[in-house]
Amino acid sequence: MPYYGNNPATIFESTPVVQRFNGDGSDTTFTLTTTVSSVQDVLVSVDGVVQDSNAYTIPDGTTLTFTAAPSSGTGNIFVNYLSPQVGTVTPAAENKGNVLIT
């Protein structure tokens, strides 16, 4: 079936995501699923309190390292990714080249 209108987007940005960790009162490092370029790319909270970026580092882009171990709790550490996550979309083969502009 032909596609009418503009070509479908091939690049998109998704909404920011949240990653949760369980604090145990002793671990200070946690592995992020998304690579970031600086501490400014995330907002970190522990027990509902937003942490100052001086309280943690992300030295290699994926290892969140706290200066002091976060308290114990289930899902009490939230990492909110602030920068949009960019991805690509490949339109289905049957949609390529079937654009009708009116």
pTM of the shown model:
0.68
Q: Which tokens is 67 given?
A: 């200066």
Say yes or no: 5 and 33 in one domain. Answer: no
The domain of 7 spans 1-15+84-102
Which of residues 8 and 53 earns the better pLDDT score? 53
**pLDDT value at position 57?**
97
Instruction: Please tell me the distance from the alpha carbon of residue 73 to that of residue 75, in angstroms, as a whole number.
Output: 6
Say yes or no: 88 and 71 in one domain. Answer: no
Instruction: Please tell me the distance from the alpha carbon of residue 87 to that of residue 64, in angstroms, as a whole number.
Output: 23
**pLDDT value at position 17?**
84
Say yes or no: 99 and 72 in one domain. Answer: no
Say yes or no: 73 and 27 in one domain. Answer: yes
* Contact present, 53 and 1 (Cβ < 8 Å): no
Q: How many domains does the chain have?
A: 2
Q: For 67, which DSSP code?
A: S
Say yes or no: 31 and 52 in one domain. Answer: yes
Say yes or no: 21 and 67 in one domain. Answer: yes
Instruction: Please tell me the distance from the alpha carbon of residue 96 to that of residue 15, in angstroms, as a whole number.
Output: 27
Per-residue model confidence as pLDDT tens digits over 40-82: 999 999 999 999 999 999 999 999 999 999 999 999 999 999 8
Say yes or no: 69 and 92 in one domain. Answer: no
